[in-house]
A = this chain, B = another copy of it.
Amino acid sequence: MPEKKPTPARRSDALSKVRIVQAAIEMLDEGGTDALTFRTLAAHLSTGAGALYHHVGNRDDLLAAAAKAVMESVLESSSENEATEQGVRGVMMGVFDMITTRPWVATQLAGAPWQPAVMHLFDRIGTELDVRGVPENAQFDAASVLMYHALGAASQRDAGRQLAATVTDRAAFLDSTRSAVTDTGDYPFLTRIASQFAEHDDREQFQAGVDIILAGIDRG
């Protein structure tokens, strides 16, 4: 009788979509969207660039698959983890935190919103709204606002990261913007709330936005 080798740890050399996506996520986490090229990714996997096309349609396809994988893990954990908040609010904050941790997802979500990752989130938001008791005929509009809020925050977040490289201080940036655009007058609102702007916390502000939207939904 031949002995059964316990999980032979068989050489994970063979290329596959999941392996490629996994490697892509690692590179994206490390260096952002720009750091992921088919050449560097191929080198990372010890193969040729052309080989990737046997498992992945193209670059957009790969990025969408990476975002989908990450989104799924976030939506899972927010429904399982006891510590995190439940409901729509929990889902929204879970997405926000993911975007903060992995800014490249923000670019990806905002750049191609009909991709699986976004549809997945949209469906989850709608489901949570149903549980919340939002009337069926109001669910679509309600889910859309929340979706837009998440996408808007996503694009804002990623840009902040790019900005951080050149300008460390928000207030300094505001000043530079203000002085740079004197041709069309100044920014009265921004000037007035400059202090709030400097002190504000992105996460709290996002959550305040979610609460405003929920209040508007519940009033309906």
Contact = CB atoms under 8 A, between A and B. Distances in A.
A190 interface: yes
Interface in A145-173: 145, 147-153, 155-156, 159-160, 162-163, 173
A217 B208 CA distance: 10
State how many copies of this chain the complex holds.
Answer: 2
Contact of A159 (B111, B116, B192, B193): B111
A122 interface: yes
A178 to B, nearest CB: 9
Interface residues of A, number: 66
Contacts of A139: 189, 193
B217 A212 contact: yes
A142 interface: yes
A112 B139 CA distance: 31
A114 B159 contact: yes
Contacts of A123: 187-190
